[in-house]
Amino acid sequence: MEQLLQQVASGLANGAIYALLALALVMIFVSTNHINFAQGEMAMFSAFVCWQLLNWGYSFWVALPATMLFSFTIGVLIERIILRPLHTAPLLSVVVVFIGLLAIFHSLAGAIWTHTVKPFPSPFPDFSLVHSGIIGPHQIGMVVVAVGMLGLLFCFFRFTPLGLAMRAAALNATSARLVGINVDWMLALGWGLAATVGSVAGVLVAPVVYLEPNMMAGILLYGFAGALVGGISSPGGAVAGGFIVGVLENMVAYLGNMLERATGFYLIGNGEKLTVALIIVITVLTLKPSGLFGHVTVKRV
């Protein structure tokens, strides 16, 4: 039972990171109808920036807000300088730009900080209330920070005039312009917020997977899986999907290990968790293409 609880708790901790990335992906998709394939590399680059600030002697709680501000600025600049001229470009052109951004951030990180794997210190102390071994202090910190940030974003988009304006611009740009909302800048701010959310995910997961330019490749796939399972058009569904994928990947590996111990037959283990996640995605999209919590969009032609 303790092992089962440990796997569930670990899955929730991983799911918090997947939920942040899934939310960042959905924020871009809802406003632009495009998937930002560079989201993981942007988060990785932000984690390197935070690590550099820590090496310069700044505390984590100073380095993290500075990294978030840096990421927000980069997100806004990307939208205004690179993507704004491509507003009417073919879909393939936008996809190539996203792939180019992925390669640029990956190459820049390797050129500046090298490809050597670096340890990233956990900001959370080894507090004494964790004795059972079910969940570690860093995992608890990951969940608390991620859930706290998701709560702040919910309040921002639900109760603030700027958040409501951004939602209006994403849902119906034409109507938003008619009521005086600057849609172009709302989209740019959305890119900035998505980059900020991704940077928090990168910083939180860096102590677990260690810091190197390829650290976010697999994690982005899990975040993408969470967004698709929950509903790529539903921010709340994407968050739920991230947690679902996080728990499911651990439970499948746990059940596979239990089966191997009981029968001696190896079916699936930790190495195949990503495969299982992708199978879950294909199954959900086959049975319910809009995701578990998404809505079906009908267009008149």
∠ Cα 186 225 208 (to 5°): 95
Q: Which of left, alpha, beta for 126 (phi over 0: left; psi -120 to 50: alpha)?
A: beta
DSSP SS3 for 37: coil
User: CB of 18 within 8 A of CB of 223?
Assistant: yes
Residue 210 belongs to a domain: yes
CA pair distance 68, 53, nearest whole angstrom: 12
In a domain, 56, yes or no: yes
Count of CB atoms within 10 A of residue 32's CB? 18
Q: At what angle do helices 235-263 and 217-230 cross, to 10 degrees?
A: 110
Distance between CA atoms of residues 14 and 206, nearest Å: 12
Residue 75 lies in a domain: yes
Residues 194, 206: Cα–Cα separation, whole Å: 18
Bin 114: left if φ > 0, else alpha if -120 < ψ < 50, else beta. left
Q: How far apart are the first and last CA of the chain?
A: 55
Q: Is residue 111 part of a domain?
A: yes
| Apex 53 CA angle, 49 and 59, nearest 5 | 130
Q: Are 199 and 216 in contact (CB under 8 A)?
A: no
pLDDT exceeds 70 at position 169? yes
Q: What is the mean pLDDT of residues 102-119?
A: 94
Token pair of 133, please? 């071994």
How many residues comprise the chain?
A: 301
Q: By mean pLDDT, which of 103-112, 210-219, 265-274, 282-291 is the weakest?
A: 265-274
Domain count, the chain: 1
Per-residue confidence band for 251, with pLDDT thresholds at 50, 70 and 90: confident
Q: Is residue 186 part of a domain?
A: yes
Look up the domain containing 81 and give its range: 2-215
Asked whether residue 293 is assigned to any structural domain, the reply reads no
Q: Assess if residue 266 is contained within a domain.
A: no
User: Is residue 59 assigned to a domain?
Assistant: yes
pTM: 0.90
**Higher model confidence: residue 274 or residue 210?**
210
pLDDT, position 47: 96
State both tokens at 269: 């283990």
